[in-house]
Structure 1
Amino acid sequence: MARLMDIVSTLEGAGNDSDDVTLGEINDQVGHRGTAALLGIPAALELTPIGGIPGVPTIIALIIALFAVQILFGREDMWLPGFLENRSVSKQKLHTSLDKLRPAAKWSDRHLGDHLSILVHAPATRIVALAIILLCCTIPPLELLPFASSIPSGTILLFSLGLLTRDGRVMALAWLAFIAALWGIWALWP
């Protein structure tokens, strides 16, 4: 199991040759250890006020679905489309973000992981990928109601945290959220 602090340390070394770091370089550095983060980062972004901008939740859902389909087919290293792979962030912003993530990663490494492992190892990861794809399919119609797409996005974020920490307790919570999200979506559906 990859510890989150190992991922943070790996990211600190990304893009040592330039002032900017591309998402492609970050993806190459982290490799298969960061696939869950590629699901969680866009889902977390959708939960911010950006998720209220018309069209943005659908674009984010397409990006998440792209990664979930790759997980479903057993791909360990994620393929990024060129428009994402070439996006860059300054090394300074990356290091500032990593400094903010470090305490959470240390806490996670101490308290999460290696519980109910049946919920976080194959074939469970592929079942999770299917659930995430289903949630992504609900996001475009939910855009008609302001911030309603946060229901499936929050559940996707929980699934990604369960996969990232490899903690079955978090994954069990994500499955409960999945059931609640489906019920909530059904209740909101016109």
Structure 2
Amino acid sequence: MSTRSTTEQADAGPTSGGGQAGEGLSHLVQSLSHLGKRHDKVSVHQIREEIGERSFGPFLVIPSLIELSPVGGIPGVPTALAAVVSLFSLQIAFGMKHLWLPDFVENRKMPGDKLKDGLNFLRPPARWIDKVLKPRLRWITRPPAIQVIAAACLLLAAAVPPLELIPFGSTLPMGAIGLFGLALMVRDGLLAFLAAILAGGTVYLLYRLVL
């Protein structure tokens, strides 16, 4: 798949939260919250169907949102989310047109009520974020920069398992991944710079953990 196809996928719309132009982070949060309301258990496959496949950004944002929700407090969940991010990041880096997950990941489920409650809590900040973000420095969200972002997300995902041992430690790398995803959704290169700063904070935290 050419880098041109990758660009088209990443740039499907300025705020393509669910794959349609004009839909931002708040729409993405609302859609997933309603999904949790409709089902006692929500599978990864159901989440993929809900958001569609026009934009790569949501596939990086959603694991971060889940990690910030009460579901992220379940032991092992941050590491499982990081594994999903790793698979997506590899495929984005290699210019895959349609992102793929193995069946055993697609069939993983999480409590619908916790997903709903956690995402409902994020609705106000999501609406504020939608007002602040806008397309700027777009070259940072296009190839070859998009491959660099994917590589950074892969490295951040690798940092999650050891940081999960620290209370809220995994929130830092997953937050950086979420910001990178948002940057791709709205084509906001400035946000990608902010994500890079958070990524630097992750490196520092790992350094302190090792020492």
TM-score band w.r.t. shorter chain: 0.7 to 0.9
Tell me, yes or no, if the aligned pair for 1:27 and 1:34 is still in contact at 8 Å.
no
Name the structure 2 match of 1:112.
133
Displacement after TM superposition at 1:29 (Å): 7.3
Partner amino acid, structure 2, of 1:43: S
Q: How does 1:35-50 map to 2 (within 5 A)?
A: 35-50=56-71
Larger radius of gyration: 1
Name the structure 2 match of 1:123.
144
Whole-Å separation in 2 of the counterparts to 1:28 and 1:47: 21
Name the structure 2 match of 1:137.
158
Equivalent residue in structure 1 for 2:197, among 141, 166, 176: 176
Q: Bigger shift: 108-117 or 123-132?
A: 108-117
Pair 1:57 & 2:78 matched? yes
Whole-Å separation in 2 of the counterparts to 1:169 and 1:108: 13
Q: Secondary structure at the match of 2:58?
A: helix
Query: TM-score, normalised to structure 1's length?
Result: 0.73
Whole-Å separation in 1 of the counterparts to 2:166 and 2:182: 26
Whole-Å separation in 2 of the counterparts to 1:70 and 1:155: 19
Name the structure 2 match of 1:16.
none
Name the structure 2 match of 1:93.
none
Percent of aligned positions that are identical: 39
Whole-Å separation in 1 of the counterparts to 2:96 and 2:204: 31
Q: Secondary structure at the match of 1:33?
A: coil
Q: In angstroms, what is the RMSD of aligned CA positions?
A: 3.7
Partner amino acid, structure 2, of 1:180: G
Equivalent residue in structure 1 for 2:206, among 166, 185, 189: 185
Q: Secondary structure at the match of 2:56?
A: helix
Q: Bigger shift: 38-47 or 129-138?
A: 38-47
Unaligned stretches of 5+ residues in structure 2: 1-12, 32-37, 111-118
Partner amino acid, structure 2, of 1:166: R
Displacement after TM superposition at 1:69 (Å): 0.8
Displacement after TM superposition at 1:60 (Å): 1.1
Displacement after TM superposition at 1:58 (Å): 1.2
Query: TM-score, normalised to structure 2's length?
Result: 0.67
Unaligned stretches of 5+ residues in structure 1: 13-18, 90-97
C-alpha distance after superposition, 1:39-65 (max 9, x if no partner): 111122112343333222111110111
Displacement after TM superposition at 1:178 (Å): 1.3
Q: Secondary structure at the match of 1:114?
A: coil
